A and B are shown apart, each in its own frame.
Chain A
Amino acid sequence: MSLLRRLGAALFVIAVLAAGHALTTALPDRNQQLRAFPATGEFGTDVTAREFTVRVGAVRCAAELKIGTAILTTQGVWIVVKLRLTARSQVTSIQYAAIRDAEGRVYEVTDRFEQTLVAGGRRLQPGIAVEGEIALEVPATSTGTLTLLLASTFVDHRMDSMAEIPLPIGDVRAALDNPASTEVLAPRVAK
C-alpha cells in the first residue's frame, strides 16, 4: 500500500473519530435524555401524571404561616397551594413538590413543618381523592410565572412523569403588605 493511501486511511479514521466526538458532544447528556416527562396542565383542571392525577384548586401568598400554635415567618413569601390528589391504578404517594420560577430556579417544599401530603407520608389509594394544602417559600423578588412541580418519585425523577402547573400569582410581594398569618389545610379525603 502506498504511503499516500496509508495517510488517507489514517486521515479517514481521524475524521470519523472527530465526527463521533462532535456528535456525542452536541447531543444531550444522559440525564437530559432521561429527564422527567412533563405532564403540563392548567390551574383548576385535572392534570394526569403516570401514577396520579392532581388538580390545583387555589393558591395564595402569605407572610406568615400558623401551624398549630407556632408562627412560621420567612425571609421571602409563603406560597400556599391547595391540591386534590388521586392515585390512578396503584397505591402511590407524592414525594416531590417544588416551585420553579421564570428563571428556572427551583424551590422545594419546606420541611419546617410536617407536610405528609407531598412528603411521601400520605398513601393515596386508587380513585379516592385526597385534598389538602402545601406551603413553599420563594424569594420576595420572584417575578414571572411560578410553576408547581409534583412527582411520585423522591430524588431520581428520570424517565417518569412530573406534573407541571403554572400558578396564577401576580406579585408575590403583595402578601407582605398583609402580616396576618394563614393556616394550612391538613390532608383529608375529598368530598
Chain B
Amino acid sequence: MRGPDALGRGWWRRNRWGLVVVLPAFAAMLYGSVYIDLDNWQQREPRPVAAAADGWVDFGGVRLHLVEIVPATDLKRFGGQPFTVPQGVTAWRAVFEIEPSGAEVPFCSVRLEDTAGRVYDDRPDELLRADADRATCAVEDSPVPAASGRHQAAAYFVTPADAEPVAVRVTFGAVDLTRYARLGR
C-alpha cells in the first residue's frame, strides 16, 4: 500500500469505486455459478395451476374439471375375471373432464396427490394385470362418448389403505413441464 498520490489521495480514496463494486460483483459471480443448478431445481419442482371459481382449470390450451376420485372396487382382469388388489392397498379411479380449445389434446400424464403430500403415478405396477389403461387425455380414449365438445379421461392409482387422495395433477409434457393443472376434490 503506497502513500498519497500526486493529488494527495490515500489508498482508500483511490480505490473507493473498486471497493464499492466488489460486493455486487461477488453476488453476481455467486448467482452465475449456481444459476444452472437453480434453474434445473425449479424445473424439477413444477408449480400448480389452480382451478378458477367455477372449478375448471385453464391449462395447456384445454380446460379441465375433476369429476370424481373414488375407490376402484370393480377392477377386472383382461379376461373379465375380478381383479383383487394386494392386501393393505387401495385402488382409486380419478375421472376428469376435458374441454379442448383446439382440435387435438396434448398427451397427458396424470398423478394423484394425497393429504400427506405423497404423489402417486398413474397405472402402477400393482395394477399391471388389471384392465385399467393409462390416461392419455385423447378423445378416442374417453370412457364416455364426447358430447358438447367435452370428453373424459380416467386414471387408476394405488395408495396405502390409510391414504386420502385430495387432487389429481395433470401435466402436458409437450406443452409445459414447469406447471401442472391441480384438480382438487
The residue of chain A having its C-beta at the shortest distance from the C-beta of B160 within the complex is A127
Give which listed residue, B87, B89, B120, contacts A91 with CB less than 8 A.
B120
What CA separation (Å) do A127 and B112 show in the bound complex? 13
**Interface assignment of B124: CB less than 8 Å from any CB of chain A:** yes
29 interchain pairs, CB-CB under 8 A: A88-B118, A89-B116, A89-B119, A90-B118, A90-B119, A91-B119, A91-B120, A91-B121, A91-B124, A123-B121, A123-B124, A123-B125, A125-B120, A125-B124, A125-B126, A125-B157, A126-B118, A126-B120, A126-B159, A127-B159, A127-B160, A127-B163, A128-B88, A128-B126, A128-B158, A128-B159, A188-B86, A189-B126, A191-B88
Would you give the 0/1 interface string for B99-141, flagging 1 where the beta carbon is closer than 8 Å to chain A? Answer: 0000000000000000011111100111000000000000000
What CA separation (Å) do A89 and B120 show in the bound complex? 8
Cβ–Cβ < 8 Å partners of A88 in chain B: 118
> From DSSP, what is the main secondary structure of chain B's interface residues?
mixed
What CA separation (Å) do A128 and B160 show in the bound complex? 6
The residue of chain B having its C-beta at the shortest distance from the C-beta of A1 within the complex is B2
Interface residue count on the B side (C-beta < 8 Å): 18
The residue of chain B having its C-beta at the shortest distance from the C-beta of A121 within the complex is B125
The residue of chain A having its C-beta at the shortest distance from the C-beta of B2 within the complex is A1
